[in-house]
Structure 1
Amino acid sequence: MFFNFITWAPAPEIFSLGPLTVRYYGVFFAVAFLLGYYIVERMFRRENAPEEWLDKLFIYVMVATVVGARLGHVFFYGWDYYSVHPEDILKVWEGGLASHGGAIGILIAIWLFSKKVTKRSMLWTLDRMVIPVALAGAFIRMGNLMNSEIVGAETTLPWGFQFLRAHVANPEIPRHPSQIYEALAYLATFVLLMYMYWKKDAHKRPGLIFGVFLIGIFLARFLIEFVKENQEAFENAMTFNMGQILSIPFVILGGYLIYRAFRRPPVETAAGKRK
């Protein structure tokens, strides 16, 4: 028998109107998008960046995030299934998004955006875009919590959650609320990046904010994976699971970008007058 643990079994839907169902995950995603738009708009205004860049940027990033996260899940976690059922790849509504795939998708989108729209270095965009992305990561993990998915490993700690709706063996066994751990880590990263941008003018050292973002997000992901359930059965035989393996290159890249940023003098970043 378990005592003093948190029983967690909320319905993932907030309400339904006929065929329309509003879910916590979707609301969190929408709030993250709106806040992200506002934050980047303030940055662009501060630096006199052309207003039309903003709308184009979010279209690029939104499409890349969904496509990248879906394909990341397909290739990194579910290829055995999707190689036999390719028609199911498009069924995003059934679940299955991988944050590492989303990160790769965003990088590709920013490369295209920089090449076709700003005509500036990718780092100029990334140093601004990743700040709201960190906040979005926190909101998405709270959506995962409301869905009772991506649950933690078993624990005897008093804040363990009994995820009664989770698709795991023995859901009544207390588990780490790993979604909350990640959400707090991403929120802390967001606060740090906001401080670096607004108080320390870190955006004048290209790649510095992006580098800190990569370490803050993916080092946290690497460490928290130790107290999470593996997402796929094949990971059980691995020393490091897929999420950890995919996080290592991002952490290394982050370290390199921070080193590179401090090896070079700061630069002016204003993009010109708004039209």
Structure 2
Amino acid sequence: MDTLAFITWNPGIELFSIGPVHIRYYSLCWIIGLLFAYLIVQRLYRQQGIKSELFEPLFLYCFVGILVGARLGHCLFYEPGFYLTHPLEMILPFRHTASGWIFTGYQGLASHGGTLGLMIALWLYVRRTKLNIVRVLDNIAIATPLTACCIRLGNLMNSEIVGLPTDVPWGFIFVHNGEAFARHPAQLYEALAYLVIFLAGWLLYRRHRDKVGTGFFFGFCLTTIFAFRFFVEFIKEEQVGFEEGMALNMGQWLSIPFVVLGIACMVGGRWLRKLSGK
């Protein structure tokens, strides 16, 4: 392949470092994504007349739920053999090597686990605040795609979760991975898709605010994000060895239940009306 026809991608993964602490672009993207979600949901709460003191604990619940869920999801879904025999490395940002423990940060976060962790965190949140759980889920779902966009941009900065080799002119050569051939920038595809999903969801909210609390926006978020995730996996490199030869990879199998749940929430039903009080 003629490398001049492609995009050579080789950014530094660190923004800056202070002694042993290294601040990476990936961490910055996570922080920016969570900040966007914080500001958007705060605005939604104000518009819907929800007391500000009920909003304040929401960020902490979401942050812990997403981080713990995403971390455990990666460890248990993708590398159970290693992490079940090294449980401390599942919860600590360190790895044990021949020369001792070293700081690595949390290398490995799964979006499916993060989604499950967020749902559990929101259930605990509504138990404390007594807010309607479907309204809370809808509000969070409006902001979630923008956070997901930022996280995938972080993956792009890390040159991870790459696509399959390609000859399309917008292919990326991930120099950091020691490669001299182009791949699909799957992370960028996802980031752009999630941005579009956020804009579509925000437009729907502005036109149909009455649907907040029905489960529609929660269902829209799950359906669109994980449907795209299912199809984009066909042009992604396998993340772990056991996926080789599988008709559908782990990410696709994990996406199917979320799509089904999302469609069910958009359509509604007796169980959802009971939860929403409508």
TM-score above 0.5: yes
Contact 1:218 1:248 in 2 (8 A): yes
Among candidates 99, 114, 119, match of residue 107 of structure 1: 119
Contact 2:14 2:25 in 1 (8 A): yes
Assess, with a 3 A threshold, how the Cα gap between structure 1 residues 241 and 249 changes in structure 2: closer, same or farther: same
* Structure 1 residue 20 displacement after superposition: 3.5
* Structure 1 residue 205 displacement after superposition: 5.5
Quote the residue 2:137 is aligned against.
126
Contact 1:73 1:96 in 2 (8 A): yes
- 2 CA distance for matches of 1:202 and 1:155? 45
What is the root-mean-square deviation of aligned Cα atoms in Å?
Answer: 2.0
Quote the residue 1:84 is aligned against.
85
Quote the residue 1:273 is aligned against.
none
Contact 2:134 2:213 in 1 (8 A): no
- 2 CA distance for matches of 1:230 and 1:249? 20
Counterpart residue type for residue 181 of structure 2: I
Contact 2:153 2:187 in 1 (8 A): yes
Quote the residue 1:172 is aligned against.
180
User: Alignment length, in residue pairs?
Assistant: 263
- 1 CA distance for matches of 2:211 and 2:40? 14
Quote the residue 2:151 is aligned against.
140
Assess, with a 3 A threshold, how the Cα gap between structure 1 residues 205 and 58 changes in structure 2: closer, same or farther: closer
SS in structure 2 at match of 1:14: strand
Structure 1, unmatched stretches of 5+, are 270-275
Quote the residue 2:259 is aligned against.
251
Assess, with a 3 A threshold, how the Cα gap between structure 1 residues 53 and 177 changes in structure 2: closer, same or farther: same
- 1 CA distance for matches of 2:92 and 2:6? 36
Contact 1:214 1:253 in 2 (8 A): yes
- 2 CA distance for matches of 1:66 and 1:268? 30
Among candidates 223, 236, 239, match of residue 231 of structure 2: 223
Q: Could you tell me the TM-score, scaled by structure 1's length?
A: 0.90
* Structure 1 residue 115 displacement after superposition: 1.8
Quote the residue 1:187 is aligned against.
195
Quote the residue 2:53 is aligned against.
52
Structure 2, unmatched stretches of 5+, are 94-104
* Structure 1 residue 63 displacement after superposition: 0.3
- 1 CA distance for matches of 2:204 and 2:269? 13
Is residue 237 of structure 2 the alignment partner of residue 236 of structure 1? Answer: no
- 1 CA distance for matches of 2:135 and 2:269? 12
Among candidates 148, 162, 172, match of residue 151 of structure 1: 162
Contact 2:222 2:259 in 1 (8 A): yes
- 1 CA distance for matches of 2:70 and 2:194? 18
Q: Could you tell me the TM-score, scaled by structure 2's length?
A: 0.89
SS in structure 2 at match of 1:143: helix
Quote the residue 1:30 is aligned against.
31
Contact 2:164 2:237 in 1 (8 A): yes
Q: Deviations over 1:93-149 (max 9, x none)?
A: 1401111000000011111111221x2332110100112211000000000000111
- 2 CA distance for matches of 1:253 and 1:227? 25
Contact 1:185 1:216 in 2 (8 A): no
* Structure 1 residue 179 displacement after superposition: 0.4
* Structure 1 residue 268 displacement after superposition: 9.9
